[in-house]
Structure 1
Amino acid sequence: MAATEFHKVAVLTSPQTPDAKPTFEVKNVPRPVPGPNEVLVRLSLTSLCGSDLGMALGHMGPMRDILGHEGVGRIASLGSNVSSLDPTVEVGQRVGVAWLRDVCGTCDMCVDIVHEGETRCVEALHSGKAYDGTFAEYTLVPLRYLARLPATYDEIPDEEVAPILCGGVTAYKAIKGCDLTPGQWLVVSGAGGGVGALAVAYASAMGYRVIAVDAGESKEAYCLSQGAEHYVNAIGSEDAGLRVKSLTDGRGAKAVVVTATAAAAYQKAFDMLGPFGTLMCVSILPEEAQVIFHPLMFIDNGWKVKGSSVGTRADIIEALEFVKRRKVTPAIKWAKLEDLGNLMGQMIERKLEGKYVIKL
């Protein structure tokens, strides 16, 4: 019998409750072995996503104790059926490991091709839930939903690919879903965060005029550097909604993309919307969070409220095209697995800027 091989992981050690302070322990555990229809991926790095904090706090239901879903690596070994099912899959191929690990392909969501419903598959398998996440040296991915990275993107380093696999593609897909015309005003609420800053960058690259909204003056320079034309301090002396209206000649924005993890951000978004505007919901709030509205707000203004959930593998490739052309460049900072607890603590206090990337 072959000796057991081990790999390094970060294990969540705190309770998955909204009032917890996330803590992690880095340890060596047995390396996973691929099933017949799976591949084993040796991750080179992973980045930290805001959703990882929500998962650690129980906002997305019970999770495994190895989180993470923005990983990049290469196939290390193949399950026994893989070569016969798809001979183009080979050891050494570069792949991304994102939130979605597999979809059923047959539920009412998956078969709705018009709405690209696979991102809402009712039987979906997710990182950190059905499979151990990417806060680990190795992880398993089902062949059916393998996200191969084409050779045309070899020039993009792993550390710039990883943030796009969730934060970047989520921002890009949400903006696409607003159905705007280049030149129209778009507000990003929570613009200084990981997803928010990427939303600013993508919206600017796509030709929209961006107003960044966040709490505190310290995030202004960062948001402007990502492509925002204006920055509005949500805790400033002037009401944020009135400030947005004044910057748009009194009309309001055509869309508000909310990436801030606060119910107040959603509530304030109504004050920023112009006629026939779209409120795009991205950030995940605790179950008890509430947003109050009256139907006349939508009847009188022609507003729409929509939600966007990550993106398909095709969306990831589209989002990477902006990075390849240097229209979007993720602002990354380096960290270690041992830093996860501290980073999530800073995330709770909304002090993080940019995307933290962890070498594995």
Structure 2
Amino acid sequence: MAIDGIPKEMLAVQVVEFNKPYKIHKIPTPTQLGDYEILLKTVVASLCHTDSMVAEGKFPTKLPCIASHEGTGVVKAVGSKVTNFKVGDRVMSGVPKNACGRCYNCKGPNDWHQYCENIEGHIGVMVDGAFAEYHVVDCRTSCHIPDKVSYASAAPLACAGCTIYRALIVSEVKQGDWLAIVGAGGGLGHLGIQFALAKDINVIAIDARDEALELCKQAGAQHVLDARDGKEKVVKDVKALTDGLGVHAAINVSDHETAADTACAVTRMHGTMVQTAQPDRVCVAFQELVFRDIRIKGTLIAGQEYSQQMLDDVARYDIKVKTNVFYGLEEVTKMVELAHSGKMQGKAVCVVDRAEFEKEKATV
């Protein structure tokens, strides 16, 4: 369907060549929507570590590609078969777009759709994303933003929040259990701390930067360990807190070459380590797998059901998203510089529609 009342051109931030800076320029605004697609006027879009991987050509990205897979916006138009959203709704962008609906994964649980092998792509990764004045998303993966959650908070949740929330579910930790988060002082980790504490799970936060360790404390972690002390010391400290057994499960959100091994080492025998970080290789000593029976699970983001549940929990438990706010798509280059500096706490977010953002601040 064609879309009336939308500008012919929009400002966008694109990957036009791998391993080169973003190109920030005017391009045609999307004018056609598929049956299940929504056109959003972007309010806030966020930067994620995965964006650097896209820019480096580590995914089958179709160039040129608009960056950012963490977006929020206001619905301006809907496809012919969209029934769960209407014009004016506040939306957190779904990352998976146009799964085939026929394969093994699509016919499985709702949360499997993201693994569709025939999917058109994930926004900002393989197809156009949210660093633009308008972006197109799938109504079957996008979510309604609760009244108590701001656009700026919801944008990082589209990937970081969904990923760590699903990791908690995959870990199968229960109320009263012990959970370690390796890389806990980053964008995903500080959210994971809060989600776990809200569910009465005991959290041990592990990281290796001063800024990250401070963010762990700000997020509410009572047990914060410095990975720079060495694996042996970290394991000893974890066991001292857990009756000598180690945590029931660990989640690794760090792509450091030693992080996965550390996550396994602090986990008790027969426990689970959930890998969410995406280094080129996940390296774990064979003793952890063979002699200690540590089970490693991988996890991607989350389907619509878990994602909406996550947003509702953010509102219910007053989960705080640490953000570094930039105004205007022209500032994306500065966002990238901050993210790569190693000094950033939380997530860098870009306010694309300042008028809508300021209007919301008066009500949320």
- The TM-score by the shorter chain falls in which range? 0.7 to 0.9
| 1:202 match | 195
How many Å separate the matches in 1 of 2:263 and 2:143? 37
Secondary structure class of the residue paired with 1:109: coil
Q: Which residue is equivalent to 2:349?
A: 357
- State how far apart, in whole Å, the 2-side matches of 1:146 and 1:275 are: 36
Q: What is residue 112 of structure 2 aligned with on the other side?
A: 117
1:305-351: CA deviations, max 9, x gaps? 10111001111111112211234121222114333334334434533
Q: Which of 137, 141, 148 in structure 2 is aligned with 1:141?
A: 137
Percentage of matched positions with identical amino acids: 26
Q: How does 1:19-30 map to 2 (within 5 A)?
A: 20=19, 23-30=21-28
- Is 1:333 aligned with 2:335? no
By how many angstroms is 1:148 displaced?
A: 4.2
Conservation of the 8 A alpha-carbon contact between 1:42 and 1:137: yes
Question: Match for 2:176 among 170, 183, 196?
Answer: 183
* Conserved? CA contact 2:51–2:125, under 8 Å: no
- What is the TM-score of this pair, normalised by structure 2? 0.86
Q: Secondary structure at the match of 1:357?
A: strand
Query: Residue 242 of structure 1 aligns to a residue in which SS?
Result: helix
Change (3 A) 1:63 1:213: farther
Q: Provide the secondary structure at the position in 1 that maps to 2:324.
A: strand
Quote the Cα distance in structure 1 between the aligned partners of 2:176 and 2:143: 34
- 1:280 aligns with 274
Q: Return the alpha-carbon distance in structure 1 between the equivalents of residues 305 and 56 of structure 2.
A: 30
Distance 1:315 1:228, change over 3 A: same
**Matched residue SS, 1:239:** helix
Give the aligned partner of residue 259 of structure 1. 253
Q: Please state if 1:34 is matched with 2:32.
A: yes
- 1:101 Cα deviation (Å)? 1.7
Q: Partner of 1:73 in structure 2?
A: 73
**8 Å Cα contact 2:162-2:307 kept in structure 1:** yes
* Equivalent residues of 2:216, 2:224 under 8 A apart: yes
Determine the C-alpha separation between the residues in 1 that align with 2:112 and 2:141.
Answer: 18
- Determine the structure 1 residue equivalent to 2:285: 293
Given candidates 290, 296, 304, the residue that maps to 1:305 is 296
Provide the C-alpha distance between the structure 1 equivalents of 2:143 and 2:291, rounded to a whole number of angstroms. 46
Amino acid at match of 2:345: E
- Deviation at 1:130? 4.7
Shift of 1:278: 0.6
* Cα gap change, 1:214 to 1:92, in 2 (>3 Å): same
SS in structure 2 of the partner of residue 199 of structure 1: helix
Which residue pairs with 1:99 in the alignment? 95
Cα distance change on mapping 1:291 and 1:138 into 2, 3 Å? same
Matched residue of 2:66: which SS?
coil
1:11 aligned residue: 14
- The one-character-per-residue Cα deviations of 1:162-187 (angstroms, maximum 9, x if unpaired) are 12211111111101111112122111
Q: Residue deviations 1:188-214, cap 9 Å, x none?
A: 111111111111111111211111111
Deviations, residues 108-132 of structure 1 (Å, cap 9, x unaligned): 122222x832121111221024531
The code of the aligned residue for 2:283 comes to V
Aligned AA (2:240): S
1:128-161 CA-partner distances (Å, limit 9, x unpaired): 2453110111112345x252416xx123221122
Letter matched to residue 117 of structure 1: W
* In structure 1, distance between residues paired with 2:307 and 2:141: 12
Q: Which residues of structure 1 form unaligned runs of 5+? A: none
User: What is the TM-score when the length of structure 1 is the normalising length?
Assistant: 0.87
How many residue pairs get aligned? The number is 343
Task: Give the structure 1 partner of residue 124 of structure 2.
Answer: 128
Higher alpha-carbon deviation: 339-348 or 211-220: 339-348
Matched position secondary structure for 1:165:
helix
Structure 2 CA distance for aligned equivalents of residues 131 and 58 of structure 1: 13
SS of residue paired to 2:245: coil
